[in-house]
Amino acid sequence: MAAGNCDRTCPSRVGLRGLDGLRGLDIPAFSSRKYPLVISSSVVITGPVVTRDHPSKVDLPRLRLGAQPQRLLMTLLGDYWQGRKEHIPSAALVRLLADFDISTVGARAALSRLARRGLLESSRVGRNTYYGLTSQATEALQDGAARILSFGQSRAGWDGRWVVAAFSLPEEQRDVRHAVRNRLRWLGFAPLYDGMWVSPCPVTDATIRVFAELGVPNATVLATVEGAVATSPRRPIEAWDLTDLRSRYEDFILTHTPLLRRIRAADVGSSESLVARTAVMDAWRRFPGLDPDLPLDLLPPQWPRVRAHAVFAEIYDALAPFAVDRVRQVILSFAPDLAGLVHHHTARQPTTCQPAATVPSYGT
């Protein structure tokens, strides 16, 4: 929901206390002499956050470096089996993971753990076990795919509004603080000061839901525009390390350009295509947590994000038919009637600045 819409809908669900409630959090950055944001048609929400009922979310495996079986399984199912309710033979999934040098023991252990976590559901036909995505895992993967695949494309003009989220948690609630930070990053936030985060995306309503879901007792969310306060030590864009971010995009381009040349020369086979396509997705999915599609108006000239996306999209889309062939080949050996159901999506999709509130993360 856009921040402008939230201005009209939020008051019925939460208390509005104006800027006094915000200052009550003892965040000195909100001093008019120090902070370059001035309130304009803002929404300020403080105290216990109340929101509408919604299904509980599931946590996908964490993102970590290396070929982790659980992360790979969820990536493969999200890329080639998303939206399907049919279950796949466990032997086929084990065979697919073998392409990534995952042992049979490791693959079967990952299947069991994902089932225990509520991400996969199992069924049996005779002595054979089959697995499929649960409805909640499907929803989380769809949300994540929409955000990741649309990220980095040219976006519509920015209206100049920032969403500011301020919260305070006691030291003993470190786990909650960690979860809040992860969720805020997925919504396009970065920390400008300790306990105060900013995002250029219209995510006021989604931010309120995050605080409600995680049980944060006192939080403030407001929509605002940047003012010209000459004495301010930091601008909102300074919440991001643009030098490091530029370097990451340039490294992505440099790392994957050789593969792109091989693809253009038709020098990649089906088995390698599956591994390479999964690897480029694994590398690209890190960026939405680092960069919320920051408005180009705020960025230095010749910003490399669009070029990096072009490399990702061409690799991901060009390898798709060959990767699908490999997945179908494997499933065909165990369940011929299911092989034709394998499908894929592409990176060429409409963009949106409204990311999902659920953080799809991948790992062990």
Alpha-carbon distance of 78 to 328, in angstroms, equals: 15
pLDDT tens across 50-108, in order? 333 333 344 444 433 334 899 899 999 999 998 899 999 999 999 999 999 999 999 99
DSSP track, 227-251: ---TT-S--GGGGS-HHHHHHHHHH
Residue from 255, 267, 269, 258 nearest 304 by CA: 255
Answer whether 0.85 is exceeded by the pTM.
no
pLDDT tens across 258-316, in order? 999 999 999 998 889 999 999 999 999 999 889 989 998 899 999 999 999 999 999 99
Q: How high is the mean pLDDT of the chain?
A: 78
User: What is the model's pLDDT at position 155?
Assistant: 64
User: What is the model's pLDDT at position 235?
Assistant: 87
Alpha-carbon distance of 27 to 196, in angstroms, equals: 8
CB atoms within 10 A of CB 28: 11
Alpha-carbon distance of 63 to 329, in angstroms, equals: 28
pLDDT at 23 over 90: no
Alpha-carbon distance of 248 to 312, in angstroms, equals: 13
Retrieve residue 38's tokens. 């001035």
